């Protein structure tokens, strides 16, 4: 995580390039899992500057992580059996600067 903003009303800001690679839509519901402290929360994703590598927890969620914490961002959906056979999840791994690895 690169930044937090307690005074914003909510959400997680994610570099729009990473959102595109992960097939996340603006305002899509996401789960955030903090690897450093075990905190878990649900919020929505908003796009940040492309190529910035920025990941910023906003609002009350900002209290659940520190700058430098490693977080996992997950989005998932319910599928019927026919859809499952055709579904290909998008997984994006990043380096320490949040660049696709």
The catalytic site residues sit at 11, 44
Per DSSP, the three-state class of 68 is coil
User: How many Å apart are CA 58 and CA 22, to the nearest integer?
Assistant: 20
Q: Taking a C-beta distance cutoff of 8 angstroms, is the pair 94, 18 a contact?
A: yes
């Amino acid at each position: 995580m690169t930044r937090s903003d307690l005074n914003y009303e909510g959400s997680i800001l994610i570099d729009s390039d990473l959102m595109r690679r992960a097939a996340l839509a603006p305002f899509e519901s996401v789960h955030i899992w903090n690897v450093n402290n075990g905190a878990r929360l649900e919020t929505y994703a908003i796009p940040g500057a492309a190529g910035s590598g920025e990941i910023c927890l906003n609002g009350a969620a900002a209290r659940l992580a520190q700058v430098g914490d490693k977080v996992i961002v997950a989005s998932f959906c319910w599928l019927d059996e026919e859809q499952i056979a055709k579904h290909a999840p998008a997984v994006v791994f990043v380096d320490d600067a949040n660049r696709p690895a």
